[in-house]
Structure 1
Amino acid sequence: MRRILLWFLTTVSTLVLLFGYRTSTSSTLPDDEAAGGSATPSTTARATTPSPTTTAGSSSGSTALPAAGTFTGSTADTRWGPVQTRITVANGRITAVDVVQYPDGNAKDREINADAIPQLVDETIQAQTAQIDMVSGATVTSTGYLESLQSALDQAHRA
């Protein structure tokens, strides 16, 4: 009888501890300095020259842009904040991508996007299209980036 009672109390205690544990589901973190946060990265990622290994076409044949200029994509509202891109087109090619807005409300967002945004920009300039891979670990930012990038490309095609 004692063993059963001890087993029962242990099981109940374990379940109470397990279900009482609070995981972080909030997008806000404690004060950045207290959490060991670092300086805020620049809100603009810029790649100014296309990669020399970029190929000049794709199977769809729609990679060449008919216009030159700067085109700002629509703001994509994501779960963690807005994402907006601006592309610069010259000679029918994307020569630069600026990320005008991206989620940077806390240290985790800044850390993730400091790695993800340059990858997205580099892939865009190499691919010359919005059909690029998303960055693992930055799915929300990648989705917003691709939505805004496609909007900017659509504007360039209409110009």
Structure 2
Amino acid sequence: MKRRHPLRRIMIGVAATASGVVLLLALKQPSGSSVAVATVPPGGAAAPGAAAPRTAGGAPSEGAPAADVPAADAPAAGAPDDSAADEAGADTSGAPASKAPAANRPTKAAPPRERTVLGDAVDTQYGPVQVRLTLSGTRIVSAAAVQAPGSDAQSKSVTANAVPKLNQAAVTAQSARIDAVSGASYTSKGYQDSLQSALDKAGA
């Protein structure tokens, strides 16, 4: 008989021992979990390029180098983070902000319409005096005497001089508190009374 080489017997013993250890570890694993075991050749070194053993959860076992696997949820470098814009309520569409609804905008008030009010006819020693007012709201726009003394030449002359001054005074004063025109005291008094009655009718 040929005598076996002692080195070969040692290699076979090491391989048998390693197989027994691997089998023992596999039996100790909890039920439902699987262990990927790399076969170790008798020399003790793993084959180059062989994958590291992983546990049941897919993570590399302790002591094995982690594989360079890019994270699926990590944003690429330099990419904008949309979550911050969503939390801030920013509009990321690039469209301009919509204008405020027309119903919320203040509307410009229309100016008050002008109205005409006719005062009472007031009798004087030389004839009746009646004033007509044109108002915008409560403001006197213009005043005119629709009746004034003019029965004779003297009365006509006094009226022609006094009435324009009284009309201008009513617009300036915005009331019936106006001065009488010199030389036309009766006409001025009748004008003031008719003017006040027109303001009373207008509620001014």
1:105 equivalent in alignment to 2:151: yes
Contact 1:80 1:103 in 2 (8 A): yes
Deviation string 1:105-125 (CA, Å, 9 cap, x unpaired) is 111011111110010011110
1:70 equivalent in alignment to 2:116: yes
Task: For 1:130 and 1:67, locate their aligned partners in 2 and report how far apart those are by CA, in whole Å.
Answer: 22
Q: Name the structure 2 match of 1:129.
A: 175
Task: For 1:67 and 1:83, locate their aligned partners in 2 and report how far apart those are by CA, in whole Å.
Answer: 27
Which ranges in structure 1 are unaligned for 5 or more consecutive residues? 1-65
Percent of pairs with identical residues:
45
Q: How far is 1:135 from its partner?
A: 0.5
Task: For 1:91 and 1:83, locate their aligned partners in 2 and report how far apart those are by CA, in whole Å.
Answer: 25
Contact 2:138 2:203 in 1 (8 A): no
Contact 2:123 2:129 in 1 (8 A): yes
Deviation string 1:85-141 (CA, Å, 9 cap, x unpaired) is 010001431011121100001110111111100100111101100001001100000
Task: For 2:113 and 2:181, locate their aligned partners in 1 and report how far apart those are by CA, in whole Å.
Answer: 28
Which aligned segments of 4 or more residues in structure 1 are displaced greater than 6 angstroms?
A: none
Task: For 1:67 and 1:129, locate their aligned partners in 2 and report how far apart those are by CA, in whole Å.
Answer: 20
Q: Name the structure 2 match of 1:142.
A: 188
1:151 equivalent in alignment to 2:197: yes
Higher relative contact order (CA 8 A, sep 6+): 1
Contact 1:67 1:157 in 2 (8 A): no
What is the aligned length? 93
TM-score by length of 1: 0.56
